[in-house]
Amino acid sequence: MRMQAAIMFQHGLPRPYASSTPLIIEDVELEGPGPGEVLIEIAAAGLCHSDLSAIEGIRPRPLPVVIGHEGAGIVRECGEGVTDLKPDDHVVTVFVSSCGGCRFCVRGRPNICPSGSAARAAGTLISGGKRIRRLNGEAVNHGSGLSLFAQYAVVARRSMVKVDSTIPLDDLAIFGCAVMTGAGAVLNTAGMQAGDTIAVLGLGGVGMNALFAAVAGGAERIIAIDTSVEKLGLARQWGATDTFLATDADCVERIRTATDGGVDTVIETAGNIQAMELAYAITARGGSVVSAGLPAQGANFSYMHAGLVSDEKSILGSYMGSCVPERDIPRFIGLYKRGKLPVERLKSGTLPLADINSAFDRLADGSVLRQLLRPNI
């Protein structure tokens, strides 16, 4: 079928993106779903910092590529062997395609299934196939096995979870990355308990979901840290008990003093080494840093090893919030329905495909939380 997609042909074009147009809207051909695959109409796709990292080239992808890894859609056609979905079902996409049978999947850790990483590196769906072609016949790579910055997508059945069709699809889209990554980091990776003290460093879409989850999970004290005064103000309105500006020279000292020697659990969502250093510095003896933000490929974080040992600190990675999507997306939607994960507060407007480059300018400015592409409106 013919559709429009936003294709990236090169990394690292200069800002403003509204002029350099790293994403070019083209008519393309989308092949129908193969065995185990599903054609979905994209209802909404969120613009995430990881997409910006791909545009900047600090997390390169095979080119040309259609990126976009957070979304919700409507099933239009099921490939051979897909019997548990039907047209008009609503789904949230999952940016790690898991195989279901490897040693990680069977231990309940599909988020680190290596079959997904191989497909991601090769720019294919988990089947190994590519379904998008330019009108000149050139194959286009898939981003995260999804390619959601388009009107439609063909995606592996295992890269989506069926959801309640009464919930607005633009709210649901946010569950595909920001909610799983942020809420999952707090409730799964960190295993936060009611009464804990927790810090969230970096208040974008992921960080705000970590904050919501900390409130929902009954944290006694929630310390929010960011470089933006506006975002700290929002965090206070939404349940943070203490806020600190990361750019203050004495930020570490002030947090350590306010928390009697440091925070037990620090969720780092900013995805850069300075943020990681700050997170480690404000972690209490016996405490943990949970890092959920992806920095530039090849960036290295260092720490004083003796202190790690004598202070018994832990450093944990959290990929997609350590989520089992079939378990956690319905769980988090349940919290949303009770007003405990108010993702609708994070929406900073919707946009058509034609506005996607200027929307990435706004994301790079740090002035928005979640902008949602609505490619069929």
Site for Zn ion in 300-329 (CB under 5 A): none
The two structure tokens encoding residue 216: 């929902």
290 within 8 A of 266, measured Cβ to Cβ: yes
Q: Which is nearer to Zn ion, 102 or 364 (CB)?
A: 102
- In angstroms, rounded to a whole number, what is the distance separating the alpha carbons of residues 149 and 63? 15
CB-nearer residue toward Zn ion: 117 or 193: 117
How far apart are CB 6 and Zn ion at their closest, in Å?
Answer: 16
Q: Which is nearer to Zn ion, 71 or 262 (CB)?
A: 71
CB of 178 to Zn ion, least distance (A): 7
Q: Is the peptide bond before 325 cis (omega within 30 degrees of 0)?
A: no
Q: Is 173 exposed, middle or buried (0-12, 13-18, 19+ CB in 10 A)?
A: buried
Contact between residue 86 and residue 78 where contact means Cβ atoms under 8 Å apart: yes
Sign of the Cα torsion 23, 352, 376, 70 reads positive
Region from 145-153, 169-177, 217-225, 269-277 binding Zn ion, contact rule CB under 5 A:
169-177
Number of residues interacting with Zn ion: please give it, by CB under 5 A: 8
Nearest to 232 by CA among 215, 208, 209: 208
Q: Taking contact as CB under 5 A, which single stretch among the options 7-15, 47-55, 252-260, 335-343 is the one that binds Zn ion?
A: 47-55
Q: Specify the residue, 99 or 122, whose C-beta has the smaller distance to Zn ion.
A: 99
CB of 87 to Zn ion, least distance (A): 28
Q: Does residue 177 belong to the site contacting Zn ion (CB under 5 A)?
A: yes
Smallest gap, in angstroms, from Cβ of residue 212 to Zn ion? 16
Closest CA to 225 of 247, 260, 206, 200: 200
Separation between Cα atoms, residue 218 and residue 58, nearest integer Å: 36
Report the nearest approach of Zn ion to the CB of residue 116 (Å): 8
Report the nearest approach of Zn ion to the CB of residue 320 (Å): 9
Rounded least distance, CB 226 to Zn ion, Å: 18
Q: For Zn ion, which residue of 85, 99, 112, 252 counts as binding (CB under 5 A)?
A: 99
CA 180 vs. chain centroid, Å, equals: 7
Q: Which residue, 105 or 210, has its beta carbon nearer to Zn ion?
A: 105
Q: CB of 216: closest distance to Zn ion in angstroms?
A: 21
What binding mask, one character per residue, do residues 104-143 give for Zn ion by CB under 5 A, x or -?
-x-------x------------------------------
Output the six-digit token pair for 152: 């439609």
- Judged by beta carbon, residue 112 or residue 252, the one nearer Zn ion is 112
Taking the C-alpha atoms of residue 78 and residue 84, their distance in angstroms, rounded to an integer, is: 9
Stretch of residues binding Zn ion (CB under 5 A), selected from 49-57, 214-222, 262-270, 355-363:
49-57
Distance CA 148, CA 352 (A): 13
Residue whose CB is less far from Zn ion, 99 or 364: 99
Three-state DSSP at 2 gives strand
What is the rounded distance in angstroms from the CA atom of residue 63 to the CA atom of residue 52?
A: 15
Distance CA 139, CA 351 (A): 27
Pick the binder of Zn ion from 4, 50, 124, 189 (CB under 5 A): 50
Helix pair 356-365, 49-56: axis angle to 10 deg: 100
Q: Which residues bind Zn ion (CB under 5 A)?
A: 48, 50, 98-99, 102, 105, 113, 177
